[in-house]
Chain A
Amino acid sequence: MFHVEHGGQVTVSPYEYPTEYEVVVVGAGHAGCEAALAAARMGCRTLLLTINADAIGLMSCNPAIGGLAKGHLVREIDALGGEMAKNIDATGIQFRQLNTSKGPAVRSSRAQADKQLYRLRMKQILESAFGLDVKQAMVDGILAEGGRAVGVETNLGVRFRGKTVVLCTGTFLKGLVHIGQVNFPAGRAGEFPAMELSDSLRSLGFSVGRLKTGTTPRLDAKTIDFSRTIRQDGDADPVPFSFGNERITRPQLPCYMTYTNAATHEAIRSGLSRSPLYSGVIKGIGPRYCPSIEDKVVRFEGRERHQVFLEPEGLRTSEYYPNGVSTSLPYDIQVRMLRTIPGLEAVEIVRPGYAIEYDFVDPVQLTPSLETRIVENLFHAGQINGTSGYEEAAAQGIVAGINAARKVRGEPPVILGRADAYIGVLIDDLVTKGAQEPYRMFTSRAEYRLLLREDNADLRLSETGHRVGLLPGERYLAFRRKRESLSALLRRLSETRVVPGHPACRAVEEAGGGPVRTGITYAELLRRPEVTMALLLSCDASLGEGADGVALLAELTVKYEGYIRRQEEEAKKLKKYEEMRFPPDFPFESVYGLSTEVRDKLVRVRPISIGQAQRVPGVTPAAVALLLVALKRGRVEPPPAEE
């Protein structure tokens, strides 16, 4: 390799790297790690390139995995054979089941991670994966030939050839960090940004936009007076994320709760004129659901206080993450503001909070397999698609990894439906509606929420994980056993008839249920509001002989049968439309009768099915009817005009 100097700039003549890869993944964040692992585990020769090999699987923001709707994603990733659940199970320091008082569909798991252990374990898993090379490199451009990606080029002029390329670059594309009026390019605080790659994408024809997000300062535990806060422990019996793990053995740490007050809000207001958000320096669109503390104070003026959780960043660090005070206010204001909060009167900041603006690539330019429509064999996953959150990133990562590997093998992509998984909802939303602001998962985004629960993620997706070759054999067998024992239990519940006076009937009556007058099946008993599986188990221990978790599943299946059935029926209807596929070259431009406006929208998204077309915003039912006609009759051209 030799360097040529001209015009003050160093041009590097390219070095063709001798190994040809099948899948090249750019970025070892949460998306990239899952993508690379999936591709390698599926047998592809895989390369993972990342800017800093010490920052693999690093949590940029809150050191926690899961939460409402996100816990669902983690379990789905696990059911497909991904790594995130196993990684948090191994490195979690506080596990909590959220919404336990609420319904089964919205119960979620969340766990605090030891940030360093989390990243180290992930790195180790990657390093020990067969067929996967991990290298530190700054990718500057996509190599494309004839509309196809064939590899990437780094800032050192190295060309890595790959049959497919998966971009998982997170917040790094032209990342710009803001703290008060100060701003500087960075991928996240303390790391190089990727300044070239998004221009390479632009020149390939992608439309690139700009979003913004932010994080909290990190605090030194030695300077926090925890006695002035409220201690919050995790669950006494932590439940693992992975269906393959039985228990969590690592010692658990508490969190602490405190509140902002009028003095805090006053301090914040005094800094607004120097806030990059309020002085108009930041142009990127931030997430509405995850506002900075300055946003909260301005938007909810009447609010007297806001909650702050103090969460440990790990077992061997004194850094704490004050959840709830994400900010990009100037440094002095951050200090002043924090020191008004009970427990934080003498706090020292280790790292200041900041906002970051970054380039993203509007995901309507993708197909539901996460391959771009503009450059074949190029896939995008994670925050580059406008999402925010580790779980959202990892969920896309595993799908992109699977589909890149399948593309290499000439197999059709795996596309999860909206009634199959939150992952399906996530990707469908992204590629159908695009991202106008950072996209985060919520349970309300899933119209079949009652079907998509954490507790049945394995039942929903293990078959797919197995079919694509990701889910290890023993996990698949365990799933089969569980499914069989669930159907056996359901059969027993609906077939076992007990008569009044039976212990189960007496137990029900004692539990406050109405008297049992005639013979009744267990299932009928279970349908009564006051009856639980635990109650039946206490009378008939043999019901508990099945696999783990089956009793709960059976209870939900029986208790909410009507709801589940109705949603299943809806889902079946939906499926019909999802299965009406447009051929890949379907000419939306010339479908007879469509208005220009609707046609433009369809051309922008190029839905793969009638079902997806229906969900494109602005596509009217009448337009859908026209598409159906065109699809069925193959009549895309207008009928011949009488000339």
Chain B
Amino acid sequence: MDDAAATTIVAPVTPPGAGAVSILRLSGDRAFPIARRLTGVDPAAHPPRTLSRCAARDASGKEIDSGLVAYFPAPNSFTGEDVAEIHLHGNPILLEEVAAAACASGARPAEAGEFSRRAFENGKMDLTQAEGLCDLILARTAASARAALRQLNGGIRDAVAPLKERMLSLLVLLEASIDFSDEEDLALLSVAQISERVSEIRASLFAYLKSYDLGHRLREGATVAIAGVANVGKSRLLNRLLGEERAIVTEVPGTTRDYLSGEITLSGIPVRLVDTAGLRETEDPVEREGVRRSREILAGADLSLFLLDASRPADDGDRGAYAEVAGRPHLLLLNKSDLPSVESGKGFYGGGSRGILSLSAKTGEGIAGLLEALARELVPGGSAMMAEAPMTRLRHADAVRKAVSALERAERAVGEGLSLEFPAADVREAMLALAELTGEIAPEEVLNSIFGSFCIGK
């Protein structure tokens, strides 16, 4: 092959396995002639971006399948190159045969993430959009999918673009007063105006940073552990929340030996609920192993629900178990509210004033309140954030945090009366951080890891 840039790639873009329809995508300089050879449909004779009936044939002219083909001329295509998509019946064997025929005509199989990479390379999407695409395909809830879609549509870029603009115009003024201070009365900013502008931008960025709390939960979901000593009703609560009899519930303490889990959706966030073995010291090696695993779950959970049995006074066992969650995000629940209550939960929470929820896993009383509390804990700011495109990855939050702290330094520098080249250096750093966010100057590692995590065909 003479020309690397002209390489045409081919791969299915629908998930592997049998389905009603599968789509094969060709992208590159020779996508049209190759697709024409496979389907007999002349791209010049058909309007772009519309489906035409076709018969897919191999090199020898033998018909493989009947299907549809659409042509997307560059640059108005997914990759920014000429793209042809062939719809076939959803049989992996057919798909493979047509792909092989395409390769025989000069295409080669796409590598993982290569379509996206080309789209990125051709300026069809920025880094956050490429990530959004990946997330959209893997989204577990409708809300996650919506967030990913917004990101794919450039939501993050659009959210930071005006801030970048503002930084740039500020930087321009700073630089002007540094480099042209020998010019006559250049209209420039006062120190007060500079720090006002910096702090406005910082505040907006900081507000946007908050969207990560929701965004990363949408993408990654949340893990909620149910904890407490034996027999407080952990398994029964799990079953109640899942709405199915997942865990075994008995009046025998130590019923649950190994943790088990189920998933629910809360405010659009996929939440994994994990029922754990009751926390207690025991000689039984099986139960001991269960407790060890419980502790692991507790350590990794985003939130724990700590249960007390309200029908009996809390004892040292409860207090000892509580000590294990006390340092982490948790809610205190008084279970078995259907029975006469003897335990108020006071003395837990370090005597603090946070709410204690009373509920009954048996009757379902208080469960609605629990769900609300859960949503509040997992999504601070709640669904108000849903209006914009939330940041979904640690990488995003890190970049914005870097920008925020650079701007904080700029404010401090201005406040301390340092000369303008110092805040200018800070503002530059902040801009650089945001540019990294959208991939304008992404270091190789970021790019490689991002593109490496793409599944083939996207």
Neighbouring B residues of A595 by C-beta, 8 Å: 5, 80, 118, 121-122
- Max chain A C-beta neighbours (<10 A), residue from B107, B127, B184, B440: B184
The CA-CA distance from A641 to B146 in the complex, in Å, is: 38
Within 8 A of A (CB), among B1-19: 1, 3-5, 7
| Contact segment of B276-284, B363-371, B378-386, B412-420 | B412-420
* Inter-subunit contact A68/B181 (CB<8 Å): yes
Report the nearest B residue to A289, measured CB to CB: B180
Contact with B120, one of A68, A566, A567, A622 (Cβ below 8 angstroms): A622
* Inter-subunit contact A443/B178 (CB<8 Å): yes
Report the nearest A residue to B409, measured CB to CB: A562
Neighbouring B residues of A643 by C-beta, 8 Å: 104, 106
Whether, in the assembled complex, B314 has its beta carbon less than 8 Å from a beta carbon of chain A, the answer is no
Closest CB in chain A relative to B78 CB, distance in Å: 14
Whether, in the assembled complex, A449 has its beta carbon less than 8 Å from a beta carbon of chain B, the answer is yes
Closest CB in chain B relative to A569 CB, distance in Å: 11
The CA-CA distance from A581 to B409 in the complex, in Å, is: 35
Neighbouring B residues of A594 by C-beta, 8 Å: 4-5, 121
* Inter-subunit contact A450/B421 (CB<8 Å): yes
Whether, in the assembled complex, A444 has its beta carbon less than 8 Å from a beta carbon of chain B, the answer is yes
Report the nearest A residue to B184, measured CB to CB: A307
Closest CB in chain A relative to B167 CB, distance in Å: 14
| Contact segment of A98-106, A120-128, A394-402, A514-522 | A98-106
* Inter-subunit contact A450/B422 (CB<8 Å): yes
| Contact segment of B198-206, B264-272, B289-297, B441-449 | B441-449
Q: Contacts A447-B428, A623-B121 given; indicate if A592 touches B179 (C-beta within 8 A).
A: no
Closest CB in chain A relative to B94 CB, distance in Å: 18
| Contact segment of A266-274, A371-379, A624-632 | A624-632
* Inter-subunit contact B441/A103 (CB<8 Å): no
Whether, in the assembled complex, B117 has its beta carbon less than 8 Å from a beta carbon of chain A, the answer is yes
* Inter-subunit contact A637/B4 (CB<8 Å): yes
* Inter-subunit contact B181/A99 (CB<8 Å): yes
Whether, in the assembled complex, A560 has its beta carbon less than 8 Å from a beta carbon of chain B, the answer is yes
Whether, in the assembled complex, A52 has its beta carbon less than 8 Å from a beta carbon of chain B, the answer is no
Chain A, interface SS category? loop
Neighbouring B residues of A562 by C-beta, 8 Å: 409
* Inter-subunit contact B447/A621 (CB<8 Å): yes
* Inter-subunit contact B182/A98 (CB<8 Å): yes
Closest CB in chain A relative to B378 CB, distance in Å: 34
Closest CB in chain B relative to A630 CB, distance in Å: 9
* Inter-subunit contact B447/A625 (CB<8 Å): yes
* Inter-subunit contact A563/B181 (CB<8 Å): no
- Max chain B C-beta neighbours (<10 A), residue from A99, A306, A625: A625
Q: Contacts A595-B122, A621-B441 given; indicate if A102 touches B5 (C-beta within 8 A).
A: no
Closest CB in chain B relative to A440 CB, distance in Å: 10
Whether, in the assembled complex, A205 has its beta carbon less than 8 Å from a beta carbon of chain B, the answer is no
* Inter-subunit contact B1/A638 (CB<8 Å): yes
The CA-CA distance from A621 to B122 in the complex, in Å, is: 11
Contact pattern, A 431-454, Cβ under 8 Å of B = 1, otherwise 0: 000000000001110010110000
Closest CB in chain A relative to B159 CB, distance in Å: 20
- Max chain A C-beta neighbours (<10 A), residue from B100, B409, B419, B441: B419
Whether, in the assembled complex, A109 has its beta carbon less than 8 Å from a beta carbon of chain B, the answer is no
Whether, in the assembled complex, B429 has its beta carbon less than 8 Å from a beta carbon of chain A, the answer is yes
Neighbouring A residues of B439 by C-beta, 8 Å: 621-622
Within 8 A of A (CB), among B416-456: 416-422, 424-425, 428-429, 439-442, 444, 447-448, 451
Neighbouring B residues of A628 by C-beta, 8 Å: 444
Whether, in the assembled complex, B162 has its beta carbon less than 8 Å from a beta carbon of chain A, the answer is no
Closest CB in chain A relative to B431 CB, distance in Å: 11
Whether, in the assembled complex, A245 has its beta carbon less than 8 Å from a beta carbon of chain B, the answer is no
Within 8 A of B (CB), among A540-580: 560, 562-563, 566-567
The CA-CA distance from A68 to B180 in the complex, in Å, is: 8
Report the nearest A residue to B451, measured CB to CB: A625
The CA-CA distance from A563 to B418 in the complex, in Å, is: 11
* Inter-subunit contact B182/A449 (CB<8 Å): no
Within 8 A of B (CB), among A509-534: 529
* Inter-subunit contact A624/B4 (CB<8 Å): no
Contact pattern, B 171-207, Cβ under 8 Å of A = 1, otherwise 0: 0000100111110100000000000000000000000
Whether, in the assembled complex, A620 has its beta carbon less than 8 Å from a beta carbon of chain B, the answer is yes
Neighbouring B residues of A566 by C-beta, 8 Å: 425, 429
Closest CB in chain A relative to B133 CB, distance in Å: 14
* Inter-subunit contact B179/A591 (CB<8 Å): no
The CA-CA distance from A591 to B418 in the complex, in Å, is: 47
- Max chain B C-beta neighbours (<10 A), residue from A444, A623, A640: A444
Whether, in the assembled complex, A161 has its beta carbon less than 8 Å from a beta carbon of chain B, the answer is no
Whether, in the assembled complex, A200 has its beta carbon less than 8 Å from a beta carbon of chain B, the answer is no
Neighbouring B residues of A620 by C-beta, 8 Å: 120-121, 123
Neighbouring B residues of A625 by C-beta, 8 Å: 444, 447-448, 451
The CA-CA distance from A443 to B424 in the complex, in Å, is: 12
Q: Contacts A590-B3, A593-B121, A595-B121 given; indicate if A103 touches B181 (C-beta within 8 A).
A: no
The CA-CA distance from A441 to B425 in the complex, in Å, is: 18
Neighbouring B residues of A592 by C-beta, 8 Å: 4, 7
Contact pattern, A 594-630, Cβ under 8 Å of B = 1, otherwise 0: 1110110000000000000010000011111110100
Whether, in the assembled complex, A639 has its beta carbon less than 8 Å from a beta carbon of chain B, the answer is yes
Whether, in the assembled complex, A69 has its beta carbon less than 8 Å from a beta carbon of chain B, the answer is yes
* Inter-subunit contact B425/A638 (CB<8 Å): no
Closest CB in chain B relative to A422 CB, distance in Å: 13
Closest CB in chain B relative to A353 CB, distance in Å: 19
Report the nearest B residue to A591, measured CB to CB: B4
Q: Contacts A103-B419, A450-B425 given; indicate if A641 touches B108 (C-beta within 8 A).
A: yes
Whether, in the assembled complex, A67 has its beta carbon less than 8 Å from a beta carbon of chain B, the answer is yes
Closest CB in chain B relative to A374 CB, distance in Å: 24
Whether, in the assembled complex, B112 has its beta carbon less than 8 Å from a beta carbon of chain A, the answer is no
Closest CB in chain B relative to A106 CB, distance in Å: 5
Neighbouring B residues of A598 by C-beta, 8 Å: 121
- Max chain B C-beta neighbours (<10 A), residue from A596, A599, A621, A624: A621
The CA-CA distance from A643 to B105 in the complex, in Å, is: 7
Neighbouring B residues of A68 by C-beta, 8 Å: 179-182
The CA-CA distance from A622 to B439 in the complex, in Å, is: 9
Neighbouring A residues of B170 by C-beta, 8 Å: none
Whether, in the assembled complex, B103 has its beta carbon less than 8 Å from a beta carbon of chain A, the answer is yes
Closest CB in chain A relative to B237 CB, distance in Å: 49
Whether, in the assembled complex, A585 has its beta carbon less than 8 Å from a beta carbon of chain B, the answer is no
A-B pairs, 5 with minimum CB distance:
A103-B419, A444-B175, A622-B121, A592-B4, A638-B4
Partner-A contacts on B (CB < 8 A): 1, 3-5, 7, 80, 100, 103-104, 106-109, 117-118, 120-123, 127, 175, 178-182, 184, 409, 416-422, 424-425, 428-429, 439-442, 444, 447-448, 451
- 11 additional contacts, CB 8 Å, given A102-B178, A443-B178, A595-B118? A103-B420, A105-B421, A450-B425, A529-B416, A563-B425, A593-B5, A594-B5, A621-B439, A636-B4, A639-B108, A641-B108
Q: List 19 A-B contacts (CB under 8 A).
A: A68-B179, A98-B182, A102-B178, A444-B175, A444-B424, A447-B428, A449-B421, A590-B4, A592-B4, A593-B117, A593-B118, A594-B4, A620-B120, A621-B440, A622-B120, A625-B444, A636-B4, A641-B7, A642-B109
